[in-house]
Amino acid sequence: MKLAFVSTKGVVRGAMAKAITSKMARLALLSMDIYLAGTEPAEEVPPKVLQVLKEKEYPTENLVPIPISQLPYDDLDILITLSPEARDRCPYSPAHKRREHWVIEEASPEDVTELRKLRDKLETAVKELLKIK
């Protein structure tokens, strides 16, 4: 199964979503290729985002987003957009079995409390996506 998370910069919501999904899918024995893309991809994940992910032992490698143009777009099974810009810039594809837009507010990359709340919201969303209790 191929899944992509697309946001604007890709290094806060998108990076967290990919890290959380990677661990949860592995623990549930699900085979998934997980992509991270941005409409305007940033070059690195902010240190406090990595810190908050490490607190729950989420993987922090391979979290640099790629441009949308580099996604295997028509091969994706699931496309999840995390920002209005991403939703508007990702065209509909009949190849996608599922497409969702998650309305989850961006957190300041410098505010650890906000980042923890964001991580917890994304954990809930990913559990629902993967049908994990």
User: Which ranges constitute the DSSP H helices of 1-133?
Assistant: 13-27, 47-55, 84-89, 112-130
Bridge-partner residues for 13, per DSSP? none
Q: What integer is the mean pLDDT of 73-84? A: 96
Helix (H, G, I), strand (E, B) or coil at 78: strand
Q: What integer is the mean pLDDT of 79-100? A: 95
As a whole number of angstroms, the distance between CA 44 and CA 77 comes to 26
| pLDDT for the residue numbered 4 | 98
Q: What integer is the mean pLDDT of 42-47? A: 96
Is residue 69 within 8 A of residue 41, CB to CB? The reply is no
How much is the pTM?
A: 0.95
Q: Which amino acid is at 133?
A: K
All domains of the chain, ordered by start, with CATH?
2-130 (3.40.50.2300)
